[in-house]
Amino acid sequence: MSPARVTATHNPLRDPRDKRLPRIAGPCSLVLFGVTGDLATKKLMPAIYDLANRGLLPPGFSLIGFARRDWADQDFGKIVYESVKKRSRTPFREDVWRSLSEGIRFVPGTFDDPKAFDLLAETVRDLDDKRGTGGNHAFYLSIPPSFFATVCEQLKRSGLSTAGPGSWRRVVIEKPFGHDLKSARELNEIVAEVFPADAVFRIDHYLGKETVQNLLALRFANQMFEPVWNSHYVDHVQITMAEDIGIGGRAGYYDGIGAARDVIQNHLLQLLALTAMEEPVSFDADHLRSEKEKVLSAVRLPKDLAKGSARGQYAKGWQGGEEVSSYLEEDGVAARSTTETYAAVKLEIDTRRWAGVPFYLRTGKRLGKRVTEIAVVFKKAPHLPFTDTATEELGQNAVVIRVQPDEGVTMRFGAKVPGAQMEVRDVTMDFGYGRAFTESSPEAYERLILDVLLGEPPLFPRHEEVELSWQILDPIEAFWAKTKGGIDQYTSGTWGPRSADNLMRRDGREWRLP
């Protein structure tokens, strides 16, 4: 073979650390509990196919479904096929599907049925023999937290959680990680009795998004940002996750949980930690997690939660050209429910870098548009050598990291308006992933599932982070529970309740309009 014909994958002279080489999982299988749920059919199954289509799964990779259904292997295979055809990110290829489908198995049973888990153990051993999975198996618990203890106990009893020499067993846990600090600690203790800490992967799909990871590159790979990323220059930070949809058919889960537990405790506090943390020694899991934990442990709540937090419920309104119902009119919602669909809170971080800089977190349903972003808003220049009229339309500089949709980064700064007069006005410089790179960004679950199979944990919060997050949120939830009277209403399609606007105006600030 001539040198020109040697591929990058097989070049013996190529440094194995070369980042151009794809990370390909070794022999393994994924056991999926909760295969009939929306998460499995809309996200997990398409992500698995997309990984296979990109050549990132081993030839013998196997997918085992476990559910209370009277299905054979081919019935489950049809469910996966339909999910993949409808929702996969990459083009559908019959040869890839045939290879993937050969490793699809299904085990019927309930979570409290020992015989079903014995059959699952037998199925896993059969895959080791026939598909060469090598005793390496990940268990994905896409199920309500109330079943975690039962499933973990069954995995332990059946021997499924015990890895043989040279092999591994891992467990993947979807949020919510408890509903308060007490339940989170109980859940962590249950899982720790069955799996060692380095085998537990807690999924927060926001941390798998390219733009969230790009935040680390933005801060630590560029000299122009890090020197001003502190209280000397930053006025405040706004972290927003807004949805333009209601709760849909999730009333059974959502009512009683609310926006703060559903989003702030995990997604937004993780984004806060990544925005505010110090530079880690490396991006290994231990170093990255350690810096995030330092930030979360330094978070301080406002002394007056009545003025430093806000919550509300969406009322009737118009959205997307159609009239939508209120939260209290949704099927399955209690008539007098006080569960919030909007939550906002002001936090501060007691560190040298961030002392005096407020972090405003907000999330809500039925808001003006779907957007998740981190906005770092800078102080105004201490001196402007212009007349007041020249800068009356000049606002504050800002760096905005858009997590979704239209992933990218926007910078807002002042520039002169063309013409004879000196007039300075805000302009934006915009970087978009879709325009800058020819390859589309993989879905978050593609990255996270692959990291699980590779055993690379940097993007997964460990139990210390989970507990620190609950320590922040629990006092807020307790305050709201004691607050007498009804909950603020906001019209669907707007940007939240008046109390949230007042939270900002007390500080002389306004929420951004994304």
pLDDT in tens, 227-272: 999 999 999 999 999 999 998 877 777 888 899 999 999 889 999 9
What is the arithmetic mean of pLDDT over 474-496? 92
Whole-angstrom Cα distance, residue 159 to residue 136?
A: 13
Q: Which residues contact 466 (CB under 8 A, 6 or more apart)?
A: 177, 178, 184, 188, 202, 266
Q: Are residues 266 and 364 in the same domain?
A: yes
pLDDT in tens, 445-473: 888 889 899 987 766 777 888 899 999 99
Indicate the range of 194-198, 239-243, 306-310 predicted with least confidence.
Answer: 194-198
Q: Is residue 267 part of a domain?
A: yes
Q: Are residues 132 and 262 in the same domain?
A: no
Q: Is residue 197 part of a domain?
A: no
Q: Are residues 105 and 219 in the same domain?
A: no
Determine the structural domain holding residue 321 and report its residue range.
Answer: 207-439+462-505
Residue 428, pLDDT score: 72
Q: Is residue 1 part of a domain?
A: no
Residue 206, pLDDT score: 64
> What percentage of residues in the chain have a pLDDT greater than 90?
53
Most confident of 327-336, 343-352, 482-491: 343-352
Q: Are residues 268 and 167 in the same domain?
A: no
Q: Are residues 95 and 50 in the same domain?
A: yes
Q: Flag whether 205 is marked binding.
A: yes
Residue linked to tokens 């991006």: 283
267 is catalytic: yes
Residue 350, pLDDT score: 96
Residue 252, pLDDT score: 76
What is the arithmetic mean of pLDDT over 423-450? 72
Residue 284 pLDDT grade (very low, low, confident, very high; cuts 50, 70, 90): confident
Q: Are residues 167 and 218 in the same domain?
A: no
Q: Are residues 136 and 243 in the same domain?
A: no
Q: Are residues 152 and 93 in the same domain?
A: yes
Residue 8, pLDDT score: 33
Q: How many CB atoms lie within 10 A of CB 501?
A: 16
- Looking at the 3D structure of the chain, how many domains does it have? 2
Residue linked to tokens 């007098």: 336
Q: Is residue 308 part of a domain?
A: yes
- CA distances 451 to 249, 277, 458, Å, are 31, 23, 9
- In the sheet that holds 62-67, the strands lie side by side as 104-108, 62-67, 29-33, 137-141, 169-174, 200-203
Better-predicted residue by pLDDT, 391 or 400: 400
Q: Flag whether 68 is marked binding.
A: yes
Q: Flag whether 262 is marked binding.
A: yes
Residue 495, pLDDT score: 96
Indicate the range of 131-145, 242-256, 484-498 predicted with least confidence.
Answer: 242-256
Mean pLDDT of the chain: 86
What is the arithmetic mean of pLDDT over 210-224? 81
Q: Is residue 185 part of a domain?
A: no
pLDDT in tens, 25-76: 889 999 999 888 888 888 999 999 999 999 999 999 999 999 988 888 888 9
Q: Are residues 296 and 149 in the same domain?
A: no
What is the arithmetic mean of pLDDT over 102-130? 94
Residue 18 pLDDT grade (very low, low, confident, very high; cuts 50, 70, 90): very low
Q: Flag whether 365 is marked binding.
A: yes
Residue 146 pLDDT grade (very low, low, confident, very high; cuts 50, 70, 90): confident
pLDDT in tens, 170-181: 999 887 788 899
What is the phi/psi pair of residue 310, to 5°? -150, 150
Residue 48, pLDDT score: 94
Q: Tell me, what CATH number does 253's domain have?
A: 3.30.360.10
Q: Is residue 491 part of a domain?
A: yes
Residue 128, pLDDT score: 93
Q: Is residue 228 part of a domain?
A: yes
Whether the predicted pLDDT of 491 surpasses 90: yes
Q: Are residues 234 and 150 in the same domain?
A: no
Domain boundary among 174, 190, 222: 174
- CA distances 412 to 239, 309, 378, 429, 472, Å, are 16, 27, 10, 7, 31
Whether the predicted pLDDT of 377 surpasses 90: yes
Q: Are residues 305 and 161 in the same domain?
A: no
Q: Is residue 349 part of a domain?
A: yes
Better-predicted residue by pLDDT, 7 or 338: 338
Residue 209, pLDDT score: 64
Q: Are residues 241 and 323 in the same domain?
A: yes
What is the arithmetic mean of pLDDT over 217-225? 87
Residue 242, pLDDT score: 96
Q: Tell me, what CATH number does 62's domain have?
A: 3.40.50.720
With b for 16 or more beta-carbon neighbours within 10 A and e for fewer, the 262-299 pattern comes to bbbbbbbbbbbbbbbbeebeeeebeebbbbbbbbbebb
Domain boundary among 149, 174, 199: 174
Residue 341 pLDDT grade (very low, low, confident, very high; cuts 50, 70, 90): very high
Question: Which is the catalytic residue, given 137, 179, 236, 267?
Answer: 267
Residue 403, pLDDT score: 86
* DSSP SS3 for 224: coil
